[in-house]
Amino acid sequence: MDIIETIKEQIEKNPVLLYMKGSPNAPQCGFSARATQAIMGCGEKFAYVDILQNPEIRTNLPKYANWPTFPQLWVDGELVGGSDIILEMFEKGELQPLIKQAVQKAGA
């Protein structure tokens, strides 16, 4: 399976997916740490991919997503955005219902 197929499959199989540096419990950059805190604040489980452990994904995902930086939050198969967008949506109360709805839809 080529790397783009792997990326597509990860996005399709996980209603909430964060591509980040490190893991939620041990983020490897400040942007990933802030994004993780906001997503965890929504109270739903989410999947993550550590791009530092997956250099092929780190190289190819920006081209696939047309988004150059990490972290990247994908909800229900759609790119939400990076750290600034995640935090802004969380502060406005927009992230919580988006994530909750995607998780509930996936569980249905």
Would you say 105 is a known binding-site residue? Answer: no
Count of C-beta atoms within a 10 Å radius of residue 71:
25
Residue 54 lies in a domain: yes
Query: What pLDDT digit, counting tens, does each position of 39-92 carry?
Result: 999 999 999 999 999 999 999 999 999 999 999 999 999 999 999 999 999 999
Would you say 34 is a known binding-site residue? Answer: no
pLDDT at 1: 72
Would you say 58 is a known binding-site residue? Answer: yes
d(CA 49, CA 11): 10
Residue 80 lies in a domain: yes
Would you say 23 is a known binding-site residue? Answer: no
Would you say 31 is a known binding-site residue? Answer: no
Residue 8 lies in a domain: yes
Residue 85 lies in a domain: yes
Residue 104 lies in a domain: no
Would you say 29 is a known binding-site residue? Answer: yes
Residue 35 lies in a domain: yes
What's the chain's average pLDDT? 96
Looking up residue 82, the CATH number of its domain turns out to be: 3.40.30.10
Total domains in the fold of the chain: 1
Q: Give the structural domain span for 65.
A: 3-98
Interval 24-38 mean pLDDT: 97
Strand blocks (E) in 34-84: 47-50, 72-75, 78-81
